[in-house]
């Protein structure tokens, strides 16, 4: 069974200043996620599932189907504040989506096979998809633990020149498994490394060599029950907060610490780049054009 690909496309793009998922950055107006899907399909993924907000779903689906056509099986799932919370009261003023953990959780209605997870506004590179597809399709050994995977990148290669970012900072064990992952917000570039400025004004420094998660994950469907359980507890503790988010890396870290999950850290020679701020667009567009010149992508992605 070929793995599916779940695309997290419900972000509001507040720092970017618009819907960066549908901003044309290729020579023919291609979206960054089109290049990601091209890479994924080339390397063994099949069905593609988009997680999108209900208010954007109709227009988004129409545009995607027009662009990608019948290249592969496509599904579109709405991530709404009430998803998974139909019997509880949601804060009236809450507008921000619940976060990446919640987004993956709602994919359960259409995903029954091993699957990868990506952000819609990140380009991870062809080799990263190859490594992840190999992991998801290989014969799994008998184990009492859930077997997942994550592709990590050096922190310094994932920073924006134009503001702060959030990253899952990882610790990898000698056995190749992820030991811990910590969701760190407000990371900004500083020299060859980075720093986090805390609310009290103190600074946390990073060398830049730290491996970080960019939400390029590999899961089996067992993750859905874990997410549902964790989200129920998260909402009980944080449901009245208008901004707190249910982060996917936080859930994975808790599963690791509880001893029931192993996450293989995959190494790749791919280069990552993405768009967090409007100012990142020109850099990303230039890199796409260079990759086309180098032969990594055709001039027209979906030409027969």
Domain ranges of the chain: 4-146+214-251+270-293
Q: Are strands 193-197 and 178-190 parallel, antiparallel or unpaired?
A: antiparallel
List, in order, residues 6 or more apart from 241 with CB less than 8 Å away: none
Does the pLDDT at position 289 exceed 80?
yes
Q: Are strands 74-78 and 48-52 parallel, antiparallel or unpaired?
A: parallel
**Token digits of residue 194:** 């980075």
List, in order, residues 6 or more apart from 11 with CB less than 8 Å away: 21, 97, 119, 120, 121
pLDDT band, very low/low/confident/very high, at 144 (cuts 50, 70, 90): confident
What value does the mean pLDDT take over residues 219-231? 94
- C-alpha R_g of the chain: 19
C-alpha span between 177 and 179 (Å, rounded): 6
C-alpha span between 243 and 240 (Å, rounded): 9
> Is the CB of residue 129 less than 8 Å from the CB of residue 136?
no
C-alpha span between 151 and 25 (Å, rounded): 24
Q: What superfamily in CATH does domain 4-146+214-251+270-293 come from?
A: Spore Coat Polysaccharide Biosynthesis Protein SpsA; Chain A (3.90.550.10)
- pTM for the model stands at 0.88
Backbone angles phi, psi at 175, to 5 degrees: -85, 0
Q: Are strands 74-78 and 115-119 parallel, antiparallel or unpaired?
A: unpaired
C-alpha span between 245 and 69 (Å, rounded): 34
What pLDDT was estimated at residue 241? 76
pLDDT digits (tens, 9 = 90+) for 150-177: 999 999 988 888 888 888 899 999 999 9
What pLDDT was estimated at residue 18? 47
């Amino acid at each position: 069974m070929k793995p599916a690909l779940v695309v997290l496309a419900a972000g509001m793009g507040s720092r970017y200043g618009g819907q960066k998922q549908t901003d044309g950055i290729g020579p023919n107006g291609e979206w960054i996620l089109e290049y990601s899907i091209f890479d994924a399909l080339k390397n063994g993924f099949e069905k593609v599932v988009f997680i999108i907000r209900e208010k954007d779903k109709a227009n988004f689906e129409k545009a995607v189907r027009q662009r990608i056509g019948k290249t592969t099986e496509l599904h579109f799932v709405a991530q709404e504040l009430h998803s998974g919370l139909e019997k509880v009261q949601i804060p009236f003023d809450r507008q921000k989506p619940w976060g990446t953990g919640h987004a993956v959780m709602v994919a359960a209605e259409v995903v029954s096979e091993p699957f990868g997870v990506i952000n819609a506004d990140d380009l991870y590179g062809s080799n990263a998809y190859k490594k992840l597809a190999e992991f998801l399709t290989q014969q799994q050994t008998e184990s009492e633990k859930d077997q997942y995977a994550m592709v990590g990148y050096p922190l310094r290669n994932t920073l924006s020149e134009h503001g702060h970012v959030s990253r899952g900072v990882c610790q990898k064990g000698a056995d190749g498994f992820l030991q811990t992952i910590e969701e760190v917000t407000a990371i900004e570039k500083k020299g060859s490394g980075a720093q986090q400025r805390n609310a009290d004004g103190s600074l946390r420094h990073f060398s830049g060599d730290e491996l970080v998660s960019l939400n390029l994950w590999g899961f089996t469907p067992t993750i859905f029950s874990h997410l549902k359980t964790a989200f129920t507890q998260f909402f009980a503790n944080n449901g009245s907060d208008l901004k707190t988010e249910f982060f996917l890396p936080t859930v994975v870290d808790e599963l690791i610490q509880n001893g029931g999950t192993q996450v293989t850290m995959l190494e790749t020679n791919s280069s990552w780049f993405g768009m967090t701020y409007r100012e990142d667009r020109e850099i990303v567009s230039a890199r796409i054009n260079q990759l086309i010149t180098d032969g990594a992508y055709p001039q027209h992605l979906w030409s027969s």
